[in-house]
Amino acid sequence: MIFFTSLTVTSLLFASNEPKKEQPEVVVEKSEDTKIQVALLLDTSSSMDGLIDQAKARLWNIVNTLSTLKHEGKTPGLEIALYEYGNDGLNEKEGYIRQVTKFTTDLDLLSEKLFALRTNGGQEYCGEVIKKSINQLEWDSKKNSMKLIYIAGNENFDQGSVNYVETISTAVSRQIFVNTIYCGDRQSGISEYWQAGATKGQGKYFNIDQNRTIRYVETPYDADIERLNKKLNDTYYGYGSLGVSKKANQLVQDSNANSMNKAIYAERAVSKSKAAYKNESWDVVDAYKKDASFVDKVKKEELPSEFKDLTKEELKSKLKETDKQREEIQKEIDAVAKKRTLYVEENTSKSDGDDLGAAITASILELAKKYNYKVEN
């Protein structure tokens, strides 16, 4: 069994028995536009159902860990991209590789895409999927932005025509760090070049059992978090062509998390109380919060029924009032979440191994130090 909570991730920084290796010097610049960009490259061949389940289960825990990071007191922007590779159902001409999402701040979309992944046997070309992620994604050019690739799979790392050494060298030259997660025993991952890939990528090498059962602790606080999450949902109002479908998807992703475990549902609710969860593309409150001129730009017919008959001044007042209500609910969720985390800490034993979420959060926190990011709960 694996026991893992958001407050225990820092202890993982010192738990690895991997030998220390030389790290590149990171030049840090001052900027208010700091970003954390994470590209997840997941093997969806026929043996990887457990890996996909771990990704679905750990998404919100990873987001919550990232949400604790501050740079010079400011919250960085969070963007996550998703690729699948090694699946016979994908285009052979594309190397059995598909960009599932480009870098996005839409966490509901990311959850939707993760839950839609299906496995099938295939050829697993690690070098090629890394190359595509480097070339296709819009990586931030600022040196104080954290740029990370996580590739997970279980076949030889050197398969395919694309040389992984050259590709990863290109990534490092752009300060994109490559981390590898081998699904199997540690020594097999080493002999199949997964450790070599991480070493070349100035990242971390992990091995996990993708089929390991993760035990989640249900707590006395879960019911309160569920109640507050429903109140939080009531502060979202869809507008424009995306409004109805995106609002519906918010509820679907709540349901997806709940279908896996009450603890995962709670972690998702906590994520929705963080700055990383923003929906200005479809929610009127977030749209106004990002751009006050939204009130002047939006057409009446694009507004939800609750707002259509309001004057511009009334609309501004209503949006400000709703935003205040939302912030109060988010603060309540945060307060309950801290109690919940302490309860989980007190009622679990030490993890007996890494899972996908533990591997990712541990390496993120370690690399964050190099960029002068600090953990602020």
pLDDT tens, position by position, for the chain (377 residues)?
Answer: 343 444 343 333 333 444 444 444 444 334 357 899 999 999 999 889 999 999 998 899 899 989 989 988 889 999 999 999 999 999 999 999 999 999 999 999 999 999 999 999 878 999 999 999 999 999 999 878 999 999 999 999 999 999 999 999 999 999 999 999 999 999 999 999 999 999 999 999 999 888 876 677 889 999 999 999 999 999 999 999 999 999 999 999 999 999 998 999 999 999 999 999 999 999 999 999 999 999 999 999 999 999 999 999 999 999 999 999 999 999 999 999 999 989 988 887 655 456 888 888 888 888 888 888 998 87
Eight-class DSSP state of 204: E
Taking the C-alpha atoms of residue 42 and residue 218, their distance in angstroms, rounded to an integer, is 29
DSSP element (H, E) containing 207: strand 202-208
The predicted pLDDT at position 136 comes to 98
Q: Taking Cα atoms as reference points, which of 59, 151, 148, 75 lies closest to residue 110? A: 59
> Rounded to 5 degrees, what angle do the CA atoms 218, 62, 101 make?
125
Eight-class DSSP state of 221: T
> Rounded to 5 degrees, what angle do the CA atoms 194, 132, 372 make?
70
Residue ranges per structural domain of the chain: 6-215+350-375, 222-346
DSSP annotation string for 266-320: HHHHHHTTSTT---TTTBHHHHHHH-TTHHHHS-GGGS-TTTTT--HHHHHHHHH
Give Rg (Cα) of the chain: 21
SS3 324: helix
Taking the C-alpha atoms of residue 164 and residue 122, their distance in angstroms, rounded to an integer, is 19
Q: Report the top-level CATH class of 6-215+350-375.
A: alpha beta
The predicted pLDDT at position 23 comes to 45
State the pairing for strand pair 35-43/77-85: parallel
Let me know: does 264 contact 216? Beta carbons within 8 Å: yes
The predicted pLDDT at position 18 comes to 46
The predicted pLDDT at position 83 comes to 98
pTM: 0.87
Q: CA torsion, points 228, 229, 235, 238, in degrees to nearest 10?
A: -170
Let me know: does 325 contact 235? Beta carbons within 8 Å: yes
The predicted pLDDT at position 351 comes to 54
The predicted pLDDT at position 166 comes to 97
Q: Tokens at residue 313, please?
A: 């001044």
